[in-house]
Amino acid sequence: MRDHYQEQLDELANRLADMCDRVAAALGKATHALLNADLQLAEEVISEDVGIDGVRDRAEEQAFALLALQAPVATDLRIVVSAIHGAGDIERMGDLALHVAQAARRRHPQPVLPDEIAPYFSEMGRVGVELATKAAAVIRSRDLAAAAELETDDDAMDDLHRHMFTVLMDRDWDHGVAAAVDVTLLARFYERYADHAVAVARRIVYVVTGQMPGPLTV
């Protein structure tokens, strides 16, 4: 019975890690669609979001079943509770990738971003995908040092996000209000995506140590 119970806990963790891999792929595709006005790839991200939502539903169902049938305590209870919260964070990451893809579709066949802005979003996409991939690895390994690295990696996304406001406030901005709104919203999507990846890593720290490392604001 104990072996089966442990297998269920491991399956739950693996399901969350797989979700992280899926939202990493989603953001990678959405960023490519954004930068290249690739309608087909944008549509692919949009259609695949339903699958990510379904994985979250199954993870939550499994977690609630474990709570009801196994009455977990101590570390096991932290795993289950963190899985419920973590599934929400990861699903939200998928939604944010979806929003990026929708922006690419909405402006197609025109590019969403001015040429001089595109490299910053390319870097945001790279950082976001890396954060989600690292979050998946942290879920599988419960490596506290790796979890802490996500906090540092997130600083790069925060810097890029802040820089966008500097660009938008520059007197030489001549791309109009619509482009400014697009850039503001998209930068926010990437910044929030990164925040949710960090939240997932923090929940792993909680699983291992029993203490949450600082307030979660996402």
pLDDT tens sequence across 11-27: 999 999 999 999 999 99
Query: pLDDT-based confidence at 1, cuts 50/70/90?
Result: low
Note the pLDDT of residue 5: 85
- pLDDT tens for 119-138 read 999 999 999 999 999 999 99
Query: pLDDT-based confidence at 212, cuts 50/70/90?
Result: confident
Query: pLDDT-based confidence at 216, cuts 50/70/90?
Result: very low
Average pLDDT of the residues in 45-61: 96
Task: Look at residue 28 and tell me whether its pLDDT is greater than 90.
Answer: yes
Tokens encoding 103: 């922006």
Integer Cα distance of 182 and 122 in angstroms: 15
Peptide bond before 109: cis, by omega within 30 degrees of 0? yes
By C-alpha distance, which of 165, 193, 215 is closest to 31? 193
Please name the residue that has the structure tokens 């929940």.
203
Note the pLDDT of residue 171: 87
User: CA–CA distance from 210 to each of 7, 78, 136 (Å)?
Assistant: 22, 8, 20
**Which residues lie closer than 8 Å to 176 by C-beta, 6 or more apart?**
none
Integer Cα distance of 78 and 66 in angstroms: 12
By C-alpha distance, which of 161, 128, 131 is closest to 149? 131
**Which residues lie closer than 8 Å to 49 by C-beta, 6 or more apart?**
26, 94, 95, 97, 98
Percent of the chain's residues with pLDDT above 70: 97
Note the pLDDT of residue 217: 43
Please count the other Cβ atoms lying within 10 Å of the Cβ belonging to residue 119: 11
By C-alpha distance, which of 12, 3, 6, 22 is closest to 139? 12
- pLDDT tens for 140-184 read 999 999 999 998 999 999 999 999 999 999 988 999 999 999 999
Architecture of the CATH domain 2-209: Up-down Bundle (1.20)
Peptide bond before 72: cis, by omega within 30 degrees of 0? no
Domain borders along the chain are: 2-209
